[in-house]
Amino acid sequence: MGRCIRAGAWALAFSLAAAGQTPAEKCRIEGTVLNAVSGQPVRKAQVSLTPATGGEPISGATDSHGAYALANVAPGVYKLQISHDGYLSQNYGAKRPGGEAKGDTLELAPGSVKTGIDLQMTPLGAMMGHIRDEDGDPVRQVEITVLAYGYGPSGRSLQVRGNSQTDASGEYRIFDLPPGAYYLYAKPTSAQMPAIAQAGETYPAAYYPNATLPSQAAAIDLAAGQEQRGMDFVLHPIATAFIRGRVIKPAGGEDCTTALKPEPDDASPHAASTRGIEVDTRGNVAARSIVWTGSFVIATNHAVDRLLDKGETFEFRNVPVGSHTLTATCNVGDQEYSVKMAIELEAPGRENLELRPVGPSSVTGQIRIEGDLDRKLSETQVSLDALRGPTFWDPHNQTAGDGQFSFLLPPDVYHINIGAPSELYVKSVTESGRDVRDSGLDLTAGEMSVELQVVLSANGGSIEGSVENGEGAHVTLVPSDPQRARTLSRTAIAGPDGHFAFSTVPPGRYKLFAWEEVDDNAAMYDAEFRKPFEGKGQTVDVTEKQKTTAQLQMIPKTEK
């Protein structure tokens, strides 16, 4: 029996040798994971070793001393990442924490043992405090939002980073926050749902420590792993007022409702929820919590005591003074008529308001392609999104299969998005000869008929180049015309040799920047952010069907 086993082993070895192959020796990786702030071991951290070309990872966990070992690893090139609740994930060799940060690869030769592959994890922080009224009593169910400045196509704005709610003792705690500068925003129930405020006076929303505008708010610097305590608010009451009026029903209108919600501020457009009270103008009590997630609206019922007049009149009592938006909707057959009205409310209130819902507008369009790629029409997506934040309507999009599209849209201002295949760029979107790519469509008057002409082109130029010592550099392409930054800015990541490329670039003048590390949205959309580095950018002119080359110097992280 033993002779048979030995013979089989020799036969396998002989067959591998005959094929020019030898059994690959397995590899091993060892290291320790430490807390980047305290230096203490991090136990139970998840360690993942993933083939650089993709595939199933090899996983393990650190022991009580923060040590890990991954054995029986096949030779190859790998990426190593660690993760743990309460910490930012960390890639091996990355210059900053976070799963999106580019790291280095590990090359394992047959039979190699790599020791001392140590990593540090950045702990997340927390903020906590109490919300009290002017008498020192706790205020429960206050919505607390942590905000930080971020960047998008519309520029710099406050964006939500976390949220919580006060308990019965008025206490809140928001955890798992990366280090950075934050702002706190407290929104009492009366500010979330204006029409359920107490008679006489109520509490408005406030930025920490007690500001009504974000420009007056105090920034809170949170260090890695820090628990920032004592972030307390003292809410001071403001007067309440009433809003009265009527809905002028369109011909054939029925099932009319009015809704009241706070005017969006720097926090609300990006927050997880925006709430409003909805009242049936025929005298039936109704209330809704309007929750905006992206472009969608979800409605849930709440019980609200409301005294209403009969007919098409409406009344909101005890509304906090300040900025609000009234919306009225009516059904006319299978179509919805609607209108919005901005209200600046002062004591004692506003009355004799009239809301006149108007019908939807028709938007039709034709797409044509410059070049020989008409078959790409079926791959082109057209969408129109409301510019004024949360609305009562779903997003509108469709495929322009034969180059034609049509929409029936409620009154609002819309931005037009054309999702063209990679070989094409959007050359123009015009309405009555006017390009509306950046200005959008104003359909607030309702019952309009608009025709759009969309031109796509296959005649874009290209840009190729390299960044000196720039592997992993973020290369930003920004148009010289600041009005076009929203639609034409792009980012590319330089390859191992610092090479980068942009294809199908619309003709025009641009500026290129190469960053060792950067917030891509800030680099693309914020001219003030780029201003100190204008001298380090390179201007390029792109023409149809021509390739432009560029050699860039990288802007070090230390200069940002």
pLDDT tens readout for residues 486-500: 889 999 999 888 999
How much is the pTM? 0.71
Class of the domain covering 461-559: mainly beta
Longest dimension (CA), the chain: 104
Indicate the pLDDT class of residue 155, thresholds 50, 70 and 90: confident
As a whole number of angstroms, the distance between CA 175 and CA 437 comes to: 40
As a whole number of angstroms, the distance between CA 213 and CA 234 comes to: 16
CATH of domain 22-121: 2.60.40.10
As a whole number of angstroms, the distance between CA 147 and CA 398 comes to: 34
As a whole number of angstroms, the distance between CA 219 and CA 172 comes to: 18
Indicate the pLDDT class of residue 471, thresholds 50, 70 and 90: confident
Indicate the pLDDT class of residue 241, thresholds 50, 70 and 90: confident
CATH of domain 125-238: 2.60.40.1120
In the chain, where are the structural domains located? 22-121, 125-238, 361-457, 461-559
pLDDT tens readout for residues 312-327: 888 888 888 888 889 8
pLDDT tens readout for residues 400-453: 567 888 889 989 888 888 888 888 999 999 999 999 988 889 999 999 999 999
Q: Decide if 24 contacts 110 (C-beta within 8 A).
A: yes
Mean pLDDT of 213-228: 93
Q: Residue 115, class by beta-carbon neighbours within 10 Å (0-12 exposed, 13-18 middle, 19+ buried)?
A: exposed
Residues pairing with 180 in the sheet: 222
Give me the amino acid identity at 407. Answer: F
The pLDDT value given to residue 376: 73
CATH of domain 361-457: 2.60.40
